[in-house]
Amino acid sequence: MNDSDDKIQIIQNYLQYLELECGLSANSLAAYRSDIIEFIRFFKIKSDYAISSRTINEYLTRLHNLNRKPGTIARKISSLRNFYKYLFENNLVRDNPFEYARVPKIMRYHPDYLTVEEVIAVLNQPKPDDRHGLRDRAILELIYGTGTRISELINLKISSIYDEIGFIKIVGKGNRERLVPYGRHALQAVERYLVEEREKIRPEKDGEILFLSNRRRRFSRVGLWKMIKKYARKAVIKKEITPHTFRHSFATHLIEGGADLRVVQELLGHASIATTQIYTRLDREYLLSVHREFHPREQAQKGGGK
């Protein structure tokens, strides 16, 4: 097996890991493969995958020179960071050179979001002693915990909750199904609602629907959003709340925390990563630092040239 075969085999093993262990879709796997192949071919990376920080800087410079969009740059670096993390964890490289690489910082971009503090303020509004307080708290926790669309949430079934593994099955656009983790706060809220409130309801119709309105039937989109806006007002949130506010906040907070764009794409159920990229933006300070470091006129200035 030659050097090229070794490299391709390692990539194939990594993609298989992403598919089987992480559950990524075919589109995401193809995008990962494209980003990795592009990088190793351009820089003629050998089968040991050893690279230097200079190689990373050269790669960033190349992407900027090719006028790649900020979201595209962030995605490609994210792909390589995760690939090298896999190589390091499997003892295929000595370290992960992308871990501390100077890569674009992700900033809030979408205007329709809440801060973490604002989200928590809204989540804390429903009280257990309130009529339907347990239900409303579970709804809010689940929306923020999964980033689900309102249309997806109103159709959730009790059987969609896999509490033993902490996942929920969401049926999205085009009847595409996805499994999304929903976190311990949402898990606790949903479990309490199921045991203390939902179990006691015996609706004539919509018996499998997880969240029922005050009329003991499936929520309407308008009815559900009126409930959410009510708690936003109680939390004294002055921002305009839209049906996607919690979904946008979910995505923005994940990306701010360093989440892989493709993972966020999977969680949101986006068919294309281009849709997910609306949540990303390069920090202006980062752009300035790249310009100062790599532009030949700036380098001449540092070296005392004219």
Annotated catalytic residues are 149, 173, 244, 247, 270, 279
Let me know how many helices (H) and strands (E) the chain has, helices first. 14, 3
Strands 167-171 and 177-181: antiparallel
Q: Please report, for residues 28, 70, 292, the alpha-carbon distance to residue 104 in angstroms, rounded to integers and kept in the order given.
A: 21, 8, 15
Q: Of the candidates 304, 256, 297, which has an alpha carbon nearest to the alpha carbon of residue 110?
A: 256
| Residue 197 near residue 112 (C-beta atoms within 8 A) | no
| Terminal C-alpha separation, the chain | 52
Q: Read off the tokens for 8.
A: 């391709």
Judged by DSSP in three states, 177 sits in: strand
